[in-house]
Amino acid sequence: MVQAAQHSDDRPRLALGPPAWLTGYRRAWLTRDLVAGLTLWALVVPEAMAYASIAGVPAQFGLYAVPLAVLAYAWLGTSTRLFVGPSSTICALTATVVAPLAVAGGEEYILLTAVLSLIVGVIFIALGLLRMGFLSRLFAEPVLDGFIVGLGLYIAVGQLPKLVGLEKPEGNTVQQLGGLLREIGDWNLASILLGGGALVLLFVLHRFAPKVPAALVVVVVSLLLVPLLSLEDRGVSVVGEIPAGFAFVPWDGLTLDHVVALVPGALTVVIVGFAESLAVVKAYAAKDGTTVDANRELLAYGAASIGSGVLQGFPPAGSLSKSAAAESSGSKSPMSFVTTAALVVLTILLLTGVFATLPEPVLGAIVIHAVASMIRPRPIWRLRQIRVPDFWLAASAFVGVVLIDVTAGIIIGLVLSLVLLLQRLGQPHVALLGRHPDRGFVDLTAYPDAVPLPGTLVVRVDGPLVFANVDPVLDELRRGIRETSPRPDLVVLDFEATYEIDVTSATALARFVADQRSSGVEVRFASVHAPVREYAGRLSLDQLAGLDDSYPSVADALADRIRP
């Protein structure tokens, strides 16, 4: 695909003119883009209708979530490969946010879902303008992995009642599964055979004929089977009448209280949606050798979410499966996504009546197949051999989703990510350095043949020096001074890996320097980065004068002690 032009800085810019991929478009690409767009349409339509059931809105609102969201990202996004549209993950989050406020499927619920999408869009754009792209890093990778596995299981179990012809039980994921098993005698055989058969067909086609639009195939087959086998008379639930055209609910039922109640949930949708979408963008950027402007992506996701909300759809997100489907179908540019959006509009205007007898078990099967790739516990289990704390982070997020709910999983994941960050930030590695004959001054634990200089303690702090870690770092320095024999009369602090200090750490460091000087120990600073030097100069702490005018290297700081 043609790549979007990249800016030389990271300031988000809201381009009003045509995107680079459009101005550089080649006529030779059109046929392949049209074919890819048609292929993607065959995947998007049934999945959008199925995902609507996850969000708790009627099937047509899943289609409404597509056109403007796709066009908005195609115009503003930095990636020419990313498809932004309905996402099972975000639909599940949407349901957890809106369900406590209204009855699923009703007009108020539909309205609140649309308003949630608008609020999410506004938050995205505000964060983009404030250059808050770093928010995507709030979730530690293991936590996000555990959350995704738990969410996939949560969604799949939530769709099982459709496959067995029952109402969805109350409770968390485990309770819902237990409720289904207790009612096994009431399972509908026709629903089981239809839904189970659709699920098997989806996996078979995906495995042996990946280019075939499997979701569309099972939809068409099920639509033919419903009247042929009189499945409605056998207790199989169907979608029912779907209005032709855009059948919006009135906006006049909206109140300020609704908006306020949705804001906290909107923030969780933003965080997870941004992390999910940006992960896909980064994957393609790494593959193509391009860069990602996270702040510009925030603006694009915001525009896409507002576009969906205007048409009373739910918040969208980037989709790896649909992006990959477009690529495998020969897509050359986002024109394929534009084609898909146009075909979805035609579907809304002309084809919705075709789906009136679409069986609910088939929609459930489509959702389960779509989220099956999310349920991969093996990488989480492998973390036990790699890093046990990361395993428990992932496991905690998973358990939060499965045993409580999605929101709890998000909160647990976010809190544990921040705790992990503070824990690691609060315990930076403090290296004692010695002189190596070939490598200069190096970590004594990594290079046993390095030799410490007599009467001198050389220390490197591997990380920023801030309020969260300054006390353990200085305690380590004091311990080094006490345990070094003979007692050193010179301490050299190597700041090569220390790129930041704050007021708390600078003040504590100044007291440390003063204490050492009063006991006859000189303190010198080496390899101090310019921002740290400038900050120390602004603080005007006499004890840190060495930071503002440090030695270029450890060797320079010890020039009077190193023998030629």
Report residue 506 as tokens. Answer: 């600078």
For residue 3, tell me if it sits in a domain.
no
Same domain for 435 and 311, yes or no, is no
Same domain for 193 and 298, yes or no, is yes
Distant-in-sequence, close-in-space partners of 274: CB < 8 Å, separation ≥ 6: 124, 135, 136, 297, 298, 301
Burial class (CB in 10 A: 0-12, 13-18, 19+), 62: buried
Torsion angle, alpha carbons of 514, 515, 520, 524, to 10: -50
The candidate with the shortest Cα–Cα distance to 491, out of 472, 471, 515, is: 515
- Continuous H helices in 56-140: 59-64, 67-76, 88-98, 107-129
Domain at 537, CATH number: 3.30.750.24
The candidate with the shortest Cα–Cα distance to 466, out of 522, 510, 435, 508, is: 508
Same domain for 396 and 545, yes or no, is no
pLDDT for 4 equals: 42
d(CA 521, CA 100): 64
- Could you tell me if 83 and 317 are in contact, meaning their C-beta atoms sit under 8 angstroms apart? no
pLDDT for 357 equals: 92
For residue 391, tell me if it sits in a domain.
yes
Same domain for 381 and 451, yes or no, is no
For residue 11, tell me if it sits in a domain.
no
The candidate with the shortest Cα–Cα distance to 225, out of 190, 200, 189, 186, is: 190
Cis preceding linkage at 486, omega within 30: yes
d(CA 13, CA 274): 18
- Could you tell me if 281 and 83 are in contact, meaning their C-beta atoms sit under 8 angstroms apart? no
Look at residue 525 and give its three-state secondary structure. Answer: strand
The candidate with the shortest Cα–Cα distance to 213, out of 319, 323, 329, 316, is: 329
Q: Of 393, 419, 445, which residue constitutes the final position of a domain?
A: 419
d(CA 343, CA 338): 9
Same domain for 56 and 81, yes or no, is yes
Write phi, then psi, for 435 (nearest 5 degrees): -90, 125
State the residue for tokens 């289904």.
180
The overall longest dimension of the chain from CA atoms, in Å, is 97
Same domain for 376 and 489, yes or no, is no
For residue 15, tell me if it sits in a domain.
no
pLDDT for 128 equals: 92
Q: Of 395, 419, 443, which residue constitutes the final position of a domain?
A: 419
DSSP 216-231: HHHHHHHHHHHHHTTT
Look at residue 527 and give its three-state secondary structure. Answer: coil
How many domains are contained in the chain? 2
Pairing outcome for strands 440-443 and 429-436 = antiparallel
Region for 103 from its dihedrals, namely left if φ exceeds 0, alpha if ψ lies in -120 to 50, beta otherwise: beta
Same domain for 132 and 254, yes or no, is yes
d(CA 549, CA 275): 42
Look at residue 84 and give its three-state secondary structure. Answer: strand
Report residue 523 as tokens. Answer: 């303190």
Q: How far is CA 70 from CA 113, 229, 307, 324, 357, in A?
A: 18, 38, 8, 15, 27
d(CA 60, CA 49): 6
Within 10 angstroms of residue 556's Cβ, the number of other Cβ atoms is 14
- How large is the C-alpha radius of gyration of the chain? 29
State the residue for tokens 């086609």.
205
Would you give the end-to-end CA distance of the chain in angstroms? Answer: 59
pLDDT for 149 equals: 87
State the residue for tokens 């035609």.
346
Look at residue 355 and give its three-state secondary structure. Answer: helix
- Continuous H helices in 183-213: 189-208
Q: In terms of C-beta distances under 8 Å and separation of at least 24 residues, what long-range contacts does 393-399 make, across chains too?
A: 393/140, 393/142, 393/143, 393/146, 393/417, 393/420, 394/142, 394/143, 394/145, 394/146, 394/149, 395/146, 396/143, 396/146, 397/143, 397/144, 397/146, 397/147, 397/150, 398/146, 398/147, 398/149, 398/150, 399/150
Q: Which amino acid is at 106?
A: G
pLDDT in tens, the chain (564 residues): 444 444 444 455 555 678 889 999 999 999 999 988 998 898 899 989 999 999 999 999 999 999 999 999 999 999 999 999 999 889 989 999 999 999 988 999 999 999 999 999 999 999 999 988 777 666 677 887 888 888 889 889 988 999 999 988 888 899 999 999 999 999 999 999 999 999 999 999 989 988 788 888 999 999 999 999 999 999 999 988 889 999 999 998 788 888 999 999 999 899 888 888 887 888 778 777 778 888 899 999 999 999 999 999 999 999 877 887 788 778 899 999 999 999 999 999 999 988 889 999 998 898 898 888 878 888 888 888 888 888 888 888 899 889 988 778 878 877 887 787 777 777 788 888 988 888 888 888 888 888 888 889 999 988 888 888 899 999 989 998 998 888 899 999 999 988 888 888 888 888 898 899 899 999 999 988 888 888 877 776 666 666 666 788 888 888 887 765
Same domain for 398 and 443, yes or no, is no
pLDDT for 545 equals: 61
Same domain for 157 and 137, yes or no, is yes
Write phi, then psi, for 289 (nearest 5 degrees): 75, 30
For residue 17, tell me if it sits in a domain.
no
For residue 117, tell me if it sits in a domain.
yes
Same domain for 83 and 160, yes or no, is yes
d(CA 514, CA 542): 9
**Residue 351 DSSP symbol:** I
The candidate with the shortest Cα–Cα distance to 143, out of 387, 369, 311, 509, is: 387
Within 10 angstroms of residue 28's Cβ, the number of other Cβ atoms is 8
Same domain for 389 and 446, yes or no, is no
Same domain for 191 and 253, yes or no, is yes
Domain that holds residue 158: 30-419
For residue 385, tell me if it sits in a domain.
yes
d(CA 370, CA 534): 53
Q: Of 419, 453, 487, which residue constitutes the final position of a domain?
A: 419
For residue 9, tell me if it sits in a domain.
no
Report residue 3 as tokens. Answer: 């790549």
Within 10 angstroms of residue 381's Cβ, the number of other Cβ atoms is 12
